[in-house]
Amino acid sequence: MAGYNKFDARIDSLVMETITHWDDEVGELSPEDKNWLSSAVHQSPEQASQISYERSHTGFTRIITVTVDDIERLYNERVSS
């Protein structure tokens, strides 16, 4: 199976673990901001700018690299709700 570098609903239904990385362009964030941003980006993985999946023994691991675009989108969503 090729192409573990984009959102796939079928694969995502088999996710057993999540990992969050931070793009080099993302500046310093408080631990609280990193915590809620990580949680928010994994709640809507289909909207993440950079997503990949790795096979594990029990399913898949979802890896999202949070970008500046993701942060802007999530802050805008937070402010508008």
Residue 13 lies in a domain: yes
Predicted TM-score (pTM) of this structure: 0.90
Residue 1 lies in a domain: no
Q: Which domain holds residue 68?
A: 9-80
Residue 4 lies in a domain: no
Q: Distances from the Cα of 68 to the Cαs of 5, 11, 34, 60, 61, in angstroms?
A: 19, 25, 12, 25, 23
* pLDDT tens, position by position, 55-78: 999 999 999 999 999 999 999 988
Residue 66 lies in a domain: yes
* pLDDT tens, position by position, 7-44: 999 999 999 999 999 999 998 999 999 999 999 999 99
- The total domain count for the chain is 1
Residue 62 lies in a domain: yes
Residue 2 lies in a domain: no
Residue 44 lies in a domain: yes
